[in-house]
Amino acid sequence: MPTPKKPVDVAVFNSSQGKWQHPSYFRAEVRIILGNPGKPMPEATFKTRLALLEAECPEFQRAPYRRTFSPFHLNCLLTLETWIHQANHCIATVRERLAQEGLPTHEYDEHRTNN
């Protein structure tokens, strides 16, 4: 089985608007990225992760019923999933860590400006 390729984050210049646009990911793509190899994350689990981030992280705010996720949202979800695995799937521990530390969004911003 070939190894899956990592998604490439590319900015596209939109000449009609005169600004750079970053790619967006559809819900199904995000669930595939967050899931196990060969199968996407279950919808119920995905909704739980979204609800947790929306409740605990003010920087994660996104428009309701929006179908796409920005690279920033994907980064937040990947960070949250890493923390959940480290906490042995104990949501209370992750919720406490979010309340105390918050997401390391400054690291994402530094990475974006350095590239």
pLDDT digits (tens, 9 = 90+) for 60-103: 888 777 888 988 889 899 999 999 999 999 999 999 998 888 88
Query: Measuring CA to CA, which residue among 19, 44, 22, 18 is closest to residue 31?
Result: 44
Give a yes or no: residue 56 inside a domain: yes
The total of structural domains in the chain comes to 1
Give a yes or no: residue 98 inside a domain: yes
Give a yes or no: residue 106 inside a domain: yes
Look up residue 61 and give its amino acid.
Answer: Q
User: For strand 19-21 and strand 12-14, is the pairing parallel, antiparallel, or unpaired?
Assistant: antiparallel
Give a yes or no: residue 1 inside a domain: no
pTM of the model: 0.72
Give a yes or no: residue 73 inside a domain: yes
On whether the CB atoms of residues 41 and 28 are closer than 8 A, the answer is no
Give a yes or no: residue 48 inside a domain: yes
Check pLDDT > 60 for residue 14: no
Which structural domain, as residue segments, surrounds residue 69?
12-114
Cα separation, 30 vs 32, in Å, equals 5
Residue 25's H or E segment, with its range, is strand 25-26
Give a yes or no: residue 3 inside a domain: no
